[in-house]
Amino acid sequence: MLLYVVIGPGGTKNITVQQTTDRYIQIYSASWGLNCANYIAQENQRLQQLRLRPADLEKLAPEERPQSLDPLPPVTRDNVLKIVGEKCNNSIACSFDASSDNLKLEPLASCYKHLEVEFRCFAFDRLRHLKVNQSETLTIDCKEADATAAS
């Protein structure tokens, strides 16, 4: 939005141009790997059935060895809200790769994950939903009047 202010009787002699924007990204929800919940449950069930001890790991083929003997924690909604918020909140646009390294969370290495984000471009905007796959780029752009999210 461009605002022109004309001051005094001198006509256009003193013109102040002020550029303001009320558009900025506000992240409301960000979840990484929710689609892996069933795989995590299956892996935990497999671990429970195996009832392995540390000495038993050497007997298994490398592809059958679990990463850990501890059960995997369940994937929760908004597990990367803070990280995505730090990258995007209060910006007009943001972009980054959807990866476990960038999001600092690895729910299950063998699962191909999705990043699901809900955001607004200004206070009274509708809630927008964006879903990108692992290794794709999340791009949110609130510059235009009809802001779009792209991947």
Look over the chain and give the mean of its residue pLDDT values, rounded to a whole number.
82
- Position 5 confidence tier, pLDDT thresholds 50, 70, 90: low
Each residue of 17-40: b (16+ CB within 10 Å) or e? Answer: eeeeeebbbbbeebbbbbbbeebb
Of 27-31, 51-55, 90-94, 144-148, least confident by mean pLDDT is 144-148
pLDDT confidence of residue 22: 78
Full-model pTM: 0.72
pLDDT confidence of residue 101: 96
- Position 46 confidence tier, pLDDT thresholds 50, 70, 90: confident
Residue 60 CA: distances (Å) to CA of 48, 64, 121, 136: 15, 6, 52, 35
pLDDT at 58 over 80: no
- Position 45 confidence tier, pLDDT thresholds 50, 70, 90: confident
- Report the C-alpha gap between 59 and 92 in whole angstroms: 55
pLDDT confidence of residue 71: 83
6/81: higher pLDDT? 81
CB neighbours (10 Å) of residue 5?
Answer: 9
CA atoms within 13 A on the CB side of 91: 13
pLDDT confidence of residue 37: 94
Instruction: Give the tokens for residue 127.
Output: 């809630």
pLDDT at 9 over 60: no
135/6: higher pLDDT? 135
Residue linked to tokens 């007009």: 92
pLDDT at 127 over 50: yes
